[in-house]
Structure 1
Amino acid sequence: MKYIVCEEPNNFQLKEKEAPKKKEGEALLKIHRVGICGTDLHAYAGNQAFFKYPRILGHELAAEILEIDENEQDLKEGDRVIIMPYVSCGKCIACRNGKTNCCANIQVLGVHTDGGMQEIISVRNDLLIPANGLDFNEMAIVEPLAIGAHAIRRAAVKPREVIVVIGCGPIGIGLMKLAQIVGAEVIALDVNNDRLEYTKKDIGVQHAFNVMENPVEKIAEITKGDLASAVFDATGNKRALESGVDYMSHGGRFVLVGLSKGELTYEHPKIHAKETTILCSRNATLEDFQFVINHLNKFPTKSFVTHQVKYTEMIENFNSWLDPEAGVIKAMVEFK
């Protein structure tokens, strides 16, 4: 079977190997779609945390069951499934408390262990989620949207609450739409005016501002001086991660969804005066995946997936997806 491996930064190779054998408690799966996310882009560029080479990337996956034994979900050959790529141990304190998303021994497909950029893969049965009639592209975007759903749940966002989302990439865009679904009013921030326009046109965000144009004053005007009760960073950019508290109200929450490799610095009097709650939000749980699946009919998948190629054409196209001028929101790789 064919697979694509990132041998080292800036070096993909299309190779061939024997298909895996299904182990007990696992299903053998045919991969149909692989979504490309920031983790993949950063891994290719050599600046992704928790990463070693060589690595088969791919954790936003749409698959079809080729072989499976009797299982609790009554899944069978031919069923379409979404893969939850967070392989948790089930034994550590996080897992025992239902927080499998931050398992102490977590192995994320495509990051800590080889992922889905291959024709066939074997995955634990408990990581498979029925697709419930979704098409392959919809299935592949459930995982990145679930990350946003987890952040919203972690921050306990309420109806009519005003929130700020920094970053109009795929995670930020998904977070914005899901926050609207739970009833929040969203303010979008980014440095890319085309992305800001997309959030207004396709996501329905009423307020979208360039961070270079003093958004604090504009947020204060919208909120009658209160600022946002919850701020989400979906960039992983050090400057954004350190400035997010500026948009937050007194008594508010600042949620770090994006991941930076370096240290972050905060002025303690500033965050102390607001009695700031700083939350990290990592990955997602089954509950978050189900929330996304149940509400995906409200999400503009067709405009969200901006670029799509066959796996044989991925390597020649990947560099262009790193260029902001290419207008990529979500790139999708087809395996057939």
Structure 2
Amino acid sequence: MLAAVYHGQRDVRVQEWADPSPPGAHDIQLEVLRASICGTDVDEFISGPHLVPLTVPHRASGHVGPLALGHEIVGRVAAVGADVEHFTVGDLVVPGSGVSCGTCRWCHAGRTNLCARYYTVGLHVDGGLAERVNVPARISRPVGNCPEDVAIMAQPLAVALHAVRGTGAERGTSIAVIGLGGIGSLVVAACTARGIDTIGVDVSTARLEVAARMGASLLIDASQEDAAAAIRRATGGDGADIVIETSGTPKGLDAAMTAVSRGGHIRLVGLHRDPSPLNLTRLVLDEIRMSTSKVHICDQDLPEALALLEDHPHIAAGTLDAVIDLKDVVSSGLLRMAAGEAVGKVVVKP
């Protein structure tokens, strides 16, 4: 089969790759209908490997060496394992990205994204930027009435929903979202669906326009003005109750630290690779809470994402940048995204 295979930094090759083996007893094999490129894939391509186990076997998956990327997938079931009960050949499904063991203390507590033996499809084993992929049935959900071009947004939307849920935000809470790329714009959509107004911040006019379509009530172009000062003006000088930082940049974090109110909450979603000094004195004296958000909890966030997309299919259309062929993953996908030219999700049609 054809797959986009990660070999190392700036080395992703669309090449012939071994077909997946018959699915294990608890797995399903998907014919991939849509996959999308995540910022994490771009991060691995530009500056990795950070997560892909090229030289040392992954402690949970056991994989070592090049692998097919892709953890945002919609597929049709092509084969089922012997013990799979809830899926049959032909079903249209969305898998979650992370595989958890179900037996460790974090899994028992419902925090499957922190599983002691957690691994990610498309980063620690072969993923969905390919014609076929094997995934555990337990992390997969039927898409319901969502067509594949809508359902492909379910996994990233689940990430956004998990990030928002962890803030405890309610109507009347002031929220600023810094960084309006693929996840940031979906965070705005998740807030809008809850009836919560958001302030959207980015340096890209095009991404600000996407956030407007997702329902942001105020847009701040950080290339033209001081974002933190603008957030404070918009909140009567107090600062935002909650700042969700999705850019993963030092400037984004600095703006979040300055823009958050006393007693507020900073939620980190973007992966910060660069050193990021924090004003710990202000965190203590103003009793600011800082938390982080990792991926999603499959049982909770993925069904909610699918239901939200079914009721609001414009979310998928509004956050789509382009649909490309698998052969164009590098030129029209990874490189465009790395250059900041993509203003939403880049979806691949194998």
**TM-score grouping bracket, smaller chain normalisation:** over 0.9
| Residue identity matched to 1:287 | Q
| Residue identity matched to 2:3 | Y
CA distance in 2 between partners of 1:72 and 1:11 (Å): 36
RMSD, aligned CA: 1.9
Contact 1:159–1:183 (Cα < 8 Å) also in 2: yes
Do structure 1's residue 187 and structure 2's residue 202 form an aligned pair? no
Do structure 1's residue 99 and structure 2's residue 99 form an aligned pair? no
Equivalent position of 2:38 in the other structure:
37
CA distance in 1 between partners of 2:43 and 2:340 (Å): 17
Equivalent position of 1:294 in the other structure:
307
| Residue identity matched to 1:250 | R
Instruction: Find the partner of 1:164 among 172, 176, 183.
Output: 176
Count how many residue pairs are aligned between Structure 1 and Structure 2: 334
Q: 1:20 to 1:281 in 2, by over 3 A?
A: same
SS of 1:290's equivalent in the other structure is helix
CA distance in 2 between partners of 1:322 and 1:193 (Å): 15
Contact 2:229–2:259 (Cα < 8 Å) also in 1: no
Measured after TM superposition, the shift of residue 241 of structure 1 is 2.2
Alignment of 1:252-267 (within 5 A): 252-267=264-279
Equivalent position of 2:121 in the other structure:
109
TM-score, normalised relative to structure 1: 0.93
Measured after TM superposition, the shift of residue 129 of structure 1 is 0.4
| Residue identity matched to 1:235 | S
Equivalent position of 1:197 in the other structure:
209
| Residue identity matched to 1:290 | P
Instruction: Find the partner of 2:346 among 308, 328, 331.
Output: 331
SS of 2:68's equivalent in the other structure is coil
Do structure 1's residue 209 and structure 2's residue 225 form an aligned pair? no
CA distance in 1 between partners of 2:94 and 2:261 (Å): 38
Equivalent position of 2:58 in the other structure:
none
Alignment of 1:40-189 (within 5 A): 40-47=41-48, 49-53=50-54, 54-69=66-81, 74-189=86-201
Contact 2:70–2:127 (Cα < 8 Å) also in 1: yes
Taking every aligned residue pair, what percent have the same amino acid on both sides? 24
Q: Which moved more, 1:48-57 or 1:270-279?
A: 48-57
Contact 2:121–2:135 (Cα < 8 Å) also in 1: no
Equivalent position of 1:240 in the other structure:
252
Contact 1:5–1:15 (Cα < 8 Å) also in 2: no
| Residue identity matched to 1:174 | L
TM-score, normalised relative to structure 2: 0.89
Give per-residue Cα distances to partners, 1:181-205, cap 9 Å, x unaligned. Answer: 11211001111122113322x1221
Do structure 1's residue 23 and structure 2's residue 24 form an aligned pair? yes
SS of 1:266's equivalent in the other structure is coil
SS of 2:296's equivalent in the other structure is coil
SS of 1:110's equivalent in the other structure is coil
Q: Which moved more, 1:123-132 or 1:302-311?
A: 302-311
SS of 1:138's equivalent in the other structure is helix
SS of 2:180's equivalent in the other structure is coil
Q: 1:215 to 1:17 in 2, by over 3 A?
A: closer
CA distance in 1 between partners of 2:235 and 2:315 (Å): 28
Do structure 1's residue 271 and structure 2's residue 256 form an aligned pair? no
Give per-residue Cα distances to partners, 1:274-310, cap 9 Å, x unaligned. Answer: 2011101001012111111111132432232221112
SS of 1:326's equivalent in the other structure is coil
| Residue identity matched to 1:314 | V
Q: 1:126 to 1:266 in 2, by over 3 A?
A: same
Give per-residue Cα distances to partners, 1:254-280, cap 9 Å, x unaligned. Answer: 000111134432122211122011101
CA distance in 1 between partners of 2:85 and 2:253 (Å): 40
SS of 1:180's equivalent in the other structure is helix
| Residue identity matched to 2:34 | R
Measured after TM superposition, the shift of residue 228 of structure 1 is 0.8
Q: 1:323 to 1:126 in 2, by over 3 A?
A: closer
CA distance in 1 between partners of 2:136 and 2:259 (Å): 42
Q: Which moved more, 1:116-125 or 1:274-283?
A: 116-125
Q: Which moved more, 1:314-323 or 1:11-20?
A: 314-323
Measured after TM superposition, the shift of residue 315 of structure 1 is 3.7
Contact 1:29–1:64 (Cα < 8 Å) also in 2: yes
Measured after TM superposition, the shift of residue 319 of structure 1 is 4.9
Equivalent position of 2:11 in the other structure:
11
Equivalent position of 2:294 in the other structure:
282
